[in-house]
Amino acid sequence: MQTMVRTEVTVNGSAFLLAQGQDVEALKARIEQAASQTRFVEFTVVGNRSVSVLVSPATHVVFSLETVRYDPRDTGDLLEPYGGPFDL
């Protein structure tokens, strides 16, 4: 079975699974910077969809990693979203 590492980002209790290809270290740096200024941070999640989160000094963010079964659709390409009710 082929596997991949999936990163979960939890922001104030709401969990988001990052799409493959996301630069986790760069995202952490953007969140750190935004926390001091209260700014939006954007990232791509599983399903190839964009999420925008408002980060402030009071925002609680947790990163966690897990190994999951490989999903060839999870490319991070926003032009090819998937995972909705009509995704066959």
The full set of domain ranges for the chain reads 3-69
pLDDT for 84 equals 59
Q: Identify any residues that bridge with 44 across adjacent strands, giving them in sequence order.
A: 50
Per-residue pLDDT tens over the stretch 65-83:
999 999 998 988 888 888 7
Kindly calculate the radius of gyration of the chain based on its CA atoms and give it in whole angstroms: 14
The stretches of the chain forming alpha helices (DSSP H) are 24-35
Rounded to the nearest 10°, the torsion over CA 66, 77, 73, 55 is 30
CA-to-CA dists, residue 39 to 73, 81, 82, angstroms: 30, 25, 28
State residue 88's pLDDT score: 47
**Mean of all residue pLDDT scores within the chain:** 92
CB atoms within 10 A of CB 19: 24
Q: pLDDT digit string (tens) for 26-55?
A: 999 999 999 999 999 999 999 999 999 999
